[in-house]
A and B are shown apart, each in its own frame.
Chain A
Amino acid sequence: MSTDPNPHGASLSIQDVAVEFDGHMALRDVTFEVDAGTLMGVVGPNGAGKSTLFNAIAGLLPVRRGKVTLHRVDQKSGELAYVPQQESVNWRFPVTATDVVMMGRCCRQGWFRRPGKKDRELVNACLGRVGLWDHRAALMTELSGGQRQRVFVARALAQEASVLLLDEAFSGVDVGAQEDLVEVLQTLRDEGRIVLLATHDLTNLAGRFDQVLCLNRHVCACGPPDQVFTSEVMEKLYGAHGVRLTMDGAGSKTT
């Protein structure tokens, strides 16, 4: 299908990065690498700097120290895609699922481009891939939280992105829909894309990710989920409450 981009071969390297946000150091000493074809969960409590990290990767926030390197990603042509937090979207604006996916297509090449037949076919194909063909004419406000996230993923597909950043992707999304979303993301990963998903709670689905980055202003741990979700890391991440979390939920799932 034409939605499949070339083998992406993109990689992301974050070295000793420090980022300032709102007058304080929101992130410091952040170092990790992500290879092509990786689905990575970025976990941490609210205020841990997950959005800041994404903004720094996208180049919206200046890096104070260190280096963010995106290999083989042409940001100018939209190869880096972003799925926004629910609260940063203007839901009053009346657009349909198709309209949103078309944004990814039309805005890719210049300011003045109008959609052609090819673009419309591609948009339809992208909606089909995330399982929303039947909802293509629905307004975004009529969709559930999980369906909205999948529309944004379809937009990323339409813009032929090789790196996807999903910010707080599970908020307002029920558990079943979280699984559907992760399933879609896994197929994108299998095609060689890098997918980073930030959430403050990865209790149920940790095992479905290749890598997990635990972030609390700095990297508490980074690696495969079964190595990362230890009580020691959880305590670093969430304080004493985190230990209980591991024993109740994540621990049993991921060990």
Chain B
Amino acid sequence: MIDFVVAPLEYGFMVRALIGSVLVGVMCPLVGAYVVTRNLAFLGDALAHAVLPGMVLGFMAGINPTIAAVPTGVAVAALVRTVSRRAGLSTDTSIGILFAAMFALGLVMLATAATIRIDMEDLLLGQILAMSPTGIYISLGITALVILGLFTLHHWLLFTSFDPVGSQIFNRRSNLMDYALLVMLALVIVIGIQAAGVILVMAMLVTPAATAYLLVRRFVPMMMAAAVMGAAAAVTGLYISYHFNLPAGPAMTLVASGIFVLVASFRRRAHA
């Protein structure tokens, strides 16, 4: 058993992958708690796809694609609200338009940039075993930033999430909190993509938080429970992938989904 855990850590790439997994497993569910309770899952999925052009641009310019994805994610997040406001469309519709357009743009850029070779599968399914030291530093930086944001803005985030109209009457600029949350969402998605890829980052964002929602009554304990389950799923998934020679992203996703299924079948809902 000890060998199962320790042996893989002789390799530098596994140590980096382990650190990366813990960061993803903690950060995505922390913000994911808001995603689940505010019905933002579709937005999260869309953001994950919409950073593709930024990442491709990063590859083309020789910048770390994760760094390039950060401004793209933040810009798309801000754009969603602006488009739905300006055009008078529902948020869902604006997300649909932006998400497809940005992903298509990324694919076209990939096709035209024949000089660079990017493995589509890595992008879509994640490549945590290939995480560079730079990737780890970026993830650590983002983690610090998001934790600071979640902590300092906590009460305003609660207020705007629970009572959007009341919070706006309280402070006309409370909608800034929605932007702040979207930015944090974009940031953790960027970390998540490295581990789980564009498609499966949803599993880290939504599944542990949804599991926690079933188990725990209050919001802050729900965030904590989600982070613990997310980290457990990510690390377990990583080890399973190492020992059984499976792709890491799908392994983490299946562990997280397994925990959800177990909890959902054995536990009555914590919320009426």
Interface of A with B (CB < 8 Å)? Answer: 55, 58-60, 76, 78, 80-85, 88-90, 92-96, 99-100, 102-104, 106-107, 111-115, 139-142, 152, 159, 165
Contact string against A for B residues 164-189, beta-carbon threshold 8 Å, 1 for contact and 0 otherwise: 11111111100000000000000000
B156: chain A residues at CB < 8 Å are 106-107, 111
Query: Closest chain A residue to B272 by CB distance?
Result: A141
A99 to B171, CA, bound (A): 18
A59-B172 in contact (CB<8A): yes
B166-A84 in contact (CB<8A): yes
A152: chain B residues at CB < 8 Å are 166
B21-29, B48-56, B213-221: which lies at the interface: B213-221
B93 at the interface (CB under 8 A from A): no
Q: With A82-B165, A102-B155 known to touch, is A90 a contact of B219 (CB < 8 Å)?
A: no
B159: chain A residues at CB < 8 Å are 103, 107
Give the distance to chain B from A23, nearest Cβ to Cβ, in Å: 11
**7 cross-chain pairs, A with B, having the tightest CB-CB distances, nearest first:** A106-B155, A82-B169, A58-B169, A103-B159, A93-B162, A88-B165, A112-B152
Q: Which residue of B153, B165, B168 is within 8 Å of A111 (Cβ)?
A: B153
A135 to B222, CA, bound (A): 20
A112 to B272, CA, bound (A): 32
The residue in B152, B164, B166 that gathers the most chain A C-beta atoms within 10 A of its C-beta is B166
Interface of B with A (CB < 8 Å)? Answer: 37-39, 152-156, 158-159, 161-172, 213, 216-219, 222, 270-272
Q: Which residue of B161, B162, B170, B272 is within 8 Å of A159 (Cβ)?
A: B170
B218-A103 in contact (CB<8A): no
Q: With A106-B155, A141-B271 known to touch, is A94 a contact of B170 (CB < 8 Å)?
A: no
Query: Closest chain A residue to B176 by CB distance?
Result: A111
B169: chain A residues at CB < 8 Å are 55, 58-60, 80, 82, 165
B164-A88 in contact (CB<8A): yes
For chains A and B in complex, what number of residue pairs have CB atoms within 8 angstroms?
A: 98
A139: chain B residues at CB < 8 Å are 217-218, 271
Query: Closest chain B residue to A59 by CB distance?
Result: B172
B165: chain A residues at CB < 8 Å are 82, 84-85, 88
B37-A93 in contact (CB<8A): yes
Query: Closest chain A residue to B34 by CB distance?
Result: A93
Give the distance to chain B from A102, nearest Cβ to Cβ, in Å: 7
A142-B272 in contact (CB<8A): yes
A60: chain B residues at CB < 8 Å are 168-169, 172
A82 to B272, CA, bound (A): 26
Q: Which residue of B155, B161, B164, B213 is within 8 Å of A107 (Cβ)?
A: B155
A-B pairs with beta carbons under 8 Å apart, 6 shown: A99-B219, A100-B162, A103-B163, A107-B156, A107-B170, A152-B166
Give the distance to chain B from A161, nearest Cβ to Cβ, in Å: 10
A103-B153 in contact (CB<8A): no
Q: 10 more A-B contacts (CB under 8 A) besides A95-B158, A103-B163, A103-B167?
A: A58-B169, A89-B166, A94-B213, A94-B216, A94-B222, A95-B218, A95-B219, A99-B158, A100-B163, A139-B271
Give the distance to chain B from A158, nearest Cβ to Cβ, in Å: 11
A90: chain B residues at CB < 8 Å are 37-38, 161-164
A88: chain B residues at CB < 8 Å are 163-166
Give the distance to chain B from A236, nearest Cβ to Cβ, in Å: 29
A100: chain B residues at CB < 8 Å are 162-163
A100 to B162, CA, bound (A): 9
Give the distance to chain A from B35, nearest Cβ to Cβ, in Å: 12
Q: Which residue of A78, A99, A102, A115 is within 8 Å of B218 (Cβ)?
A: A99
A253 to B150, CA, bound (A): 52
Give the distance to chain B from A21, nearest Cβ to Cβ, in Å: 14
A103 to B37, CA, bound (A): 17
B158-A94 in contact (CB<8A): no
B218: chain A residues at CB < 8 Å are 94-96, 99, 139
A80 to B168, CA, bound (A): 12
A113 to B168, CA, bound (A): 18
